[in-house]
Amino acid sequence: MSLLEKDQRYILNVYNRIPLEIDYCKGSYIYDTNGNKYLDMFSGISVTNLGHSQQGIVDKIIEQSKKYTHLSNYFVSPPVINLAKMLVENTFASKVFFTNSGAESIEAAIKCARKFGKSYNNNKTKILSAINSFHGRTMGGLSITGQHKYQDAFSPLLPNVDYFKFNDIEDFENKVDNTVCAVFLEIIQGEGGIREVSSNFISKLQELSKRYNFLIVVDEIQTGIGRTGDFLASDKFGLKPHMTTLAKSIGGGLPLGALLIDQSIENVLTTGDHGSTFGGNPVCCAAGEYLVNKVLEEDFKAEIKEKSDYIINEIKKIQNKFPNIIKDIRGRGLMIGIDVSDFSHQIKDLAFKKQLLLNVTNNTVIRLLPPLNISNTDIDKFLNIFEDILLQINGKAIDSY
């Protein structure tokens, strides 16, 4: 049996696997057991943001593993505190709660929001989130994910959750009242097709939060830690939320998540209210220290923005040549969506044959999430292959006409 056949046999069948047996990965490349190398343009869905097996991260992992790999949250640990300190000193937060994943960061935020609401009265428990949002697959995360396709098989979900149309101020105003304890929002909807919130919506959100006294919870699990060229994507709007959820890249490729908490609500969750056996694992936090340090460098953030401008400009040029295929280009920093309507899966499959790994989200969108330190040569390589593929598709369309 091949590895892929064994996977089918032994692993629960909830994932669509890419038919590749991987030997090792380095930087922006994945090497298969036949010696082929594939350019990785989605970094494990924005996890390996400094590329695969980045030496600085590997060194931190080894160094910490030699001291200890786990202590339990009965003990304090330097890498855990160092990482929290960096997050506090560089964001709105005054406190951090560490988790192991995005969904767990969301769960912690939901609990904090509900307890905050209940401190006013037993009715203030409603949570609002956007239609087309994605906040994870645990029952709490699923409940506030505004997409029926993920939810319907698992109902009943968490009570007292309602959904507003993304960026629709009128609809949002109609949904808000005194019973709302929190509004959850992605700055750029990732699974929802790379759609960014408008600054008008953010202004209204802040205004209504003050008037109705609800918490603003920003989900930066995909957009956070440099992905958009800012440390947090909400920095662009000068938005100071009450909580921000993080995960994915924060552990430098190891499983780690975090909930950033504003001072005004830092005493809502107290001893015994919440916890996690693995949350804030010292090895993951040591790896995270390296990653966060790098992303905080001003030059590095500027480089991300330069690369982003270059890629988006080049894709626009390609769009001018193939307006029948590329319908829209969206996103910010190195989180870029190319809406190619029905061509998405064909493009992904052709790319795979050319040893380029692409990710499709929301059915029609090629989602680019390359390593933040991808080289200019590899960017050009991607652009050339991508254009070749569109040429090939167009040629076929013309042939079959």
- What residues contact residue 318 under an 8 Å CB cut-off, 6+ apart? 326, 383, 386, 387, 390
Phi, psi of 295 (to 5 degrees): -70, -25
CB of 170 to ligand PLP, least distance (A): 25
CB of 210 to ligand PLP, least distance (A): 25
CB of 127 to ligand PLP, least distance (A): 15
Tokens of 266: 């830092």
Residue 363 near residue 347 (C-beta atoms within 8 A): no
Asked if 247 touches ligand PLP (CB under 6 A), the answer is: yes
Q: Compare residues 222 and 359 and give the one whose CB is closer to ligand PLP.
A: 222
Residue 84 near residue 98 (C-beta atoms within 8 A): yes
Residue 221 near residue 49 (C-beta atoms within 8 A): no
CB of 322 to ligand PLP, least distance (A): 29
Q: Which of 43, 147, 209, 222 binds ligand PLP (CB under 6 A)?
A: 222
Residue nearest to ligand PLP (CB): 102
Q: Compare residues 124 and 135 and give the one whose CB is closer to ligand PLP.
A: 135
Of residues 355-384, which lie at the interface with ligand PLP (CB under 6 A)? none
Q: Which of 40, 107, 191, 230 binds ligand PLP (CB under 6 A)?
A: 191
Q: Which of 117, 136, 224, 288 binds ligand PLP (CB under 6 A)?
A: 136
Q: Which of 38, 134, 201, 231 binds ligand PLP (CB under 6 A)?
A: 134
What does the angle CA 76 – CA 77 – CA 82 come to, to the nearest 5 degrees? Answer: 115
Work out whether strand 215-219 and strand 243-246 pair parallel, antiparallel, or are unpaired: parallel
Asked if 192 touches ligand PLP (CB under 6 A), the answer is: no
Asked if 234 touches ligand PLP (CB under 6 A), the answer is: no
Asked if 102 touches ligand PLP (CB under 6 A), the answer is: yes
Segment holding 287, helix H or strand E? helix 282-296
* Strands of the 161-164 sheet, one edge to the other: 95-99, 257-261, 243-246, 215-219, 180-186, 126-130, 161-164
Residue numbers at the binding site for ligand PLP (CB under 6 A) = 45, 101-103, 106, 134-136, 186, 190-191, 219, 221-222, 247
